Structure 1
């Protein structure tokens, strides 16, 4: 019988792989910004997010038939083929196709991974596993920014797209690890225990959660894809150090989620979220003051200060997810996660457009303030989410 730790490792590797792909946008934007306008680059991410959102609902029945493990393997095979092809096609239009493949594959993978976690882990163990898997996601951001940052400043910068072949190798290794695993699947006889169809998605607590997730991803996207451009354009820092800003952000985020996977076993999720949000507000406030009044004297402090947000921002997404996922019936997990993917996709796409417009209108000196605003809404909704109960009716 496969142990839970044996299941957790390939799930973490899967999220690390998709993290590297989804968050390579910082490097792609820097490389293409001399040829493509910021407005055009802002919409480039939509080629990933819109297919991800659309396919997430349609693939639910497919995943139910093939099983979560097979669906995850299929998603990684798509990534292997697309990453091998990317450096061989020297055209901007192929980035759009490649991003669409990444988006569709991630939709399959995320629904599969969250369903595997739901079926194989319970309660605080589930929350801890989600935090561990999401920690791997943050380490992927760190790894891809360090990797591309080093490659783009080396003598082989013109071959930067071949870095995606390394991701293809990771994907092959992960597929080989997943294949022999014995993973619990929900039997077909148990998939209609709860009445009401998809009406459970209209529960007030679920709706508040979806809004929070949308805003959370919008904020994370504002950091992950656009922080390097902010450092390069506003603080006049080199391309290498601009990319390392995202690497530091990811490294702090990795530690934030790793620590959360331990603390959630001892502390209540609501208290942890409030503490994290308060500290984020303080860091963003100090950063904006330094940018506005002490820009020349403290710009290199900002290189480290703003990424420190990751230590407290990263725990929020898995904490919200685990709180609601624990309350969702197992047979509804596919549909629930598909809506999470849609909200995340819309948040990612609109987050990139939101930042692109800010940069286009030359308002990026107020970068921390524009991130502060959606976090205020999240702060208010968190109180409502905590106070709202959730119940389900069973068929008898």
Structure 2
């Protein structure tokens, strides 16, 4: 981050790695539980048990973090994730997955607010903040790759029936990250308010509304891939679970590359122009995918290699748009602002999962790429309006 806190970078990246693995194991859970004859309608609502607690708890989390402190709050969230993941393999009932995702969602709300707050309190210049944001969030993509690859190998092995024991490794990483935080020194922001619900005044301005709308659809697009791409590969392209998860891992690998590259080159380009360029490239790839789906069905297997390319251009969007807005936010409001980002993200993820499960239930997977393309076009239109509007008045 900065020269004052060189020892905090690793635990922050590990925090995002952990939450990435537990949040994005949804695709694995969907594949495994659907094989146990649990319907897509029920699995579509499973994501709501993760996202709705995030939305409900996020505003209260600001007061919780202010009272307990950023460091203790992060440690609490990571310990809870570690303990719950440790118990998961030993519970066989479906309702425990609902409870587990609810706990994970609540902990993620705390974790993300804390991480964003630490970054904002140590970075001031917009481009430097964007570089740091992309660097830390790149570990989120690594988490997706690791969880899909690791569970893919476990599921396809002779020990496939014990796939849930893979969550024990997530527990160990969580406990190790807690140890690193205990050894780290973090400057805590001054507590200025003890309100249960934080002050939301000023967040209703047009730039904020446009920003939240853009964020909503970016998460909408990301979750279309992260949670449902393995199931699309398995149901529509007729590949086995192992190959579906490995192919999805390449999306995460491209996504990591996109964020890693962005963190290195972002200072050379205009943030808004770079953002719009990435959107244009996503549209071009999706148009190509849709063309193959509808007119060249005999070559449909090539989609296994085209979908991951989208990650290269999709992954920079969220960190870039966040960093551009966060750089304008007062430090004493950053936790409140982050909580609103988390709420918008969770609502978007939940609505997307419910709606895309309808495509799966009705066997309308030919429209999967068009469904995503519609969301990308919405992001493009909203982003153009957002960047045209001066945000210096915030």
Give the TM-score of the pair, scaled to structure 1: 0.95
Distance 1:158 1:305 in 2: 31
Counterpart residue number, 1:331: 332
Say whether 1:220 aligns with 2:222.
yes
Aligned residue runs from structure 1 range 14-93, under 5 A = 14-34=15-35, 35-93=37-95
Structure 1 regions of 5+ residues with no counterpart?
none
Aligned residue runs from structure 1 range 239-250, under 5 A = 239-250=241-252
1:262 to 261, 264, 286: 264
Determine if contact 1:27/1:145 at 8 Å carries over to the other structure. yes
Aligned residue runs from structure 1 range 235-314, under 5 A = 235-296=237-298, 298-314=299-315
SS of equivalent to 2:202:
helix
Distance 1:4 1:209 in 2: 30
Pairs aligned (count)? 388
Residue 319 of structure 1, CA deviation: 0.4
Distance 1:299 1:363 in 2: 15
Say whether 1:181 aligns with 2:193.
no
SS of equivalent to 1:200:
coil
Residue 68 of structure 1, CA deviation: 1.1
Aligned residue runs from structure 1 range 107-146, under 5 A = 107-123=109-125, 124-146=127-149
Residue 4 of structure 1, CA deviation: 3.5
Mark the CA change 1:32 to 1:260 in structure 2 (over 3 Å): closer, same or farther.
same
SS of equivalent to 1:237:
coil
SS of equivalent to 1:385:
helix
Q: Deviations over 1:89-145 (max 9, x none)?
A: 111010000000100000000000000101112222211111011100011000000
Counterpart residue number, 2:389: 388
Distance 2:25 2:101 in 1: 11
Residue 392 of structure 1, CA deviation: 6.6
1:100 to 102, 108, 124: 102
C-alpha RMSD of the superposition: 1.6
SS of equivalent to 1:71:
helix
Distance 2:88 2:191 in 1: 39
Q: Deviations over 1:126-171 (max 9, x none)?
A: 1111101110001100000000111110000010000000000000
Distance 1:2 1:51 in 2: 36
Mark the CA change 1:391 to 1:197 in structure 2 (over 3 Å): closer, same or farther.
farther
Distance 1:69 1:201 in 2: 27
Determine if contact 1:200/1:392 at 8 Å carries over to the other structure. no
Structure 2 regions of 5+ residues with no counterpart?
none
Mark the CA change 1:392 to 1:73 in structure 2 (over 3 Å): closer, same or farther.
farther
